[in-house]
């Protein structure tokens, strides 16, 4: 089973609970807090481009990429009318754009999909090399607490009119890996079409992220409780990070 393939065409309908408006306001509040007025922004793992559209409408020069061609196809249909947006098919570990940016973003817990520490090191180093001096890297993660205690070893079921899906999860304590098994049933007239996807996320503890930071050339790291400027706690479900070059 692959990830974000057939799922791509239903992704936005199933993620309609995500408040991108508030998320965008929070990102801009980080710019203000760090006294940054960015012109160029790189968004990694942009998915279907829902957040990218906010950046585009605000007038930022945006390059965004994703490794899923199916997700990029949806993003293209949203963003093709914006001359200030460029879409690419790249992955977070090995991207090479021969350009530097004021800000690099990686949102919606996309970093959790980097399951090997050595690959996360590559991501940090690659991001650093694509940032302008004094630029910042903003990313968020599903916390270790959330993946282990809320998502892990639980099953969720949702019925959204023509879409019915079952989300079964397994958490591996030894590997700190959470496996998501999603089964979708899409109503087509009097029948249902079924397809399955498997997603894998790594549960990172704060000290693991900081150890990777220490191997990089970034000068500064700070973590926040999701969508705030408070320090995270043991029950935080989403943690935001800001790294400064």
Low-confidence ranges of the chain (pLDDT < 50): none
CA separation for the pair 58, 70 (Å, rounded): 26
Note the CATH number of domain 8-142+204-244. 3.40.50.150
Specify the pTM.
Answer: 0.96
- pLDDT given for residue 143 in this prediction: 98
Q: Which tokens belong to 56?
A: 């585009």
- pLDDT given for residue 5 in this prediction: 80
CA separation for the pair 120, 144 (Å, rounded): 16
Structure confidence by residue, pLDDT tens digits, 30-50: 999 999 999 999 999 999 999
CATH architecture of 145-202: Single Sheet (2.20)
- pLDDT given for residue 2 in this prediction: 61
- pLDDT given for residue 203 in this prediction: 98
Query: How would you list the strands of the sheet with 61-66, edge to edge?
Result: 85-89, 61-66, 40-44, 101-106, 131-142, 238-244, 220-225
* Distances 46 to 81, 180, 229 between C-alpha atoms, Å: 17, 20, 24
- pLDDT given for residue 7 in this prediction: 86
- pLDDT given for residue 160 in this prediction: 86
Where do the domains of the chain lie?
A: 8-142+204-244, 145-202
């Amino acid at each position: 089973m692959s990830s974000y393939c057939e799922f791509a065409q239903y992704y936005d309908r199933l993620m309609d609970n995500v408040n991108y408006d508030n998320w965008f306001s929070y990102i801009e509040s980080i710019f203000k807090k760090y006294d940054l007025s960015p012109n160029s922004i790189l968004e990694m793992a942009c998915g279907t481009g829902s957040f990218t559209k906010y950046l585009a409408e605000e007038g930022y020069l945006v390059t965004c990429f994703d490794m899923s061609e199916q997700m990029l196809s949806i993003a293209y249909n949203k963003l093709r009318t914006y001359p200030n947006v460029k879409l690419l098919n790249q992955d977070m570990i090995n991207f090479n754009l021969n350009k530097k940016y004021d800000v690099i973003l990686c949102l919606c817990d996309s970093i959790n999909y980097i399951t090997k520490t050595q690959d996360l090191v590559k991501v940090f180093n690659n991001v650093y090399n694509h940032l302008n001096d004094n630029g910042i890297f903003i990313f968020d993660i599903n916390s270790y607490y959330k993946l282990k205690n809320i998502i892990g070893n639980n099953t969720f079921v949702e019925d959204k009119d023509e879409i019915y899906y079952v989300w079964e999860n397994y958490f591996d304590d030894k590997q700190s890996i959470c496996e998501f098994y999603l089964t979708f049933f899409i109503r087509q007239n009097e029948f249902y079409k079924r397809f399955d996807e498997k997603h894998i996320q790594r549960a990172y503890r704060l000290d693991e992220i900081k150890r990777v930071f220490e191997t990089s050339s970034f000068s500064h790291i700070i973590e926040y409780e999701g969508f705030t400027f408070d320090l995270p706690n043991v029950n935080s479900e989403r943690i935001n990070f800001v790294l400064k070059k």
